[in-house]
Amino acid sequence: MNRDINNQLIENIALLQEIHSLNHLIETIQFSSMPKQRKHWTKGEDELLTQAVNVFGTEDVDKLAQVMVSKTREQIYFRVRYVLNNPVVYKERNIVGFQ
């Protein structure tokens, strides 16, 4: 009986990992399919978003969107997730102040 439960748990964990991977893939595809002009952020916009993130955190995209009125919620979400939270891109852009 315990073996059956363990096997079921292993299968469930594998399914959850697969779902997580698929969600990440979907987000990546959505981001890459955005028009190029919508993906471009100026250094000033990055710094403003950085300041907003330092005040509000990364979880409340609605509050960040109130600060970044020139960007959509989707753009802000992807910027925080894939640029500001990515140390390699962050270092390349030389964004000041994001902790």
CA distance 98 to 55: 11
Per-residue pLDDT reduced to its tens digit, 36-72 = 545 577 778 888 888 888 888 877 788 888 888 878 8
Give how far the C-alpha of residue 17 lies from the chain's centroid of Cα atoms, to the nearest Å. Answer: 18
User: For residue range 9-33, what is the model confidence (pLDDT) as tens digits?
Assistant: 999 999 999 888 887 777 777 666 6
DSSP letter (8 states) at residue 82: I
Residue 96: which residues within 8 A CB-CB, separation 6 or more? 47, 50
In angstroms, the CA 15 to CA 13 distance is: 5
Of the pLDDT bands very low, low, confident and very high (cuts 50, 70, 90), residue 97 is very low
Q: Which residue is it, tokens 């315990």?
A: 2
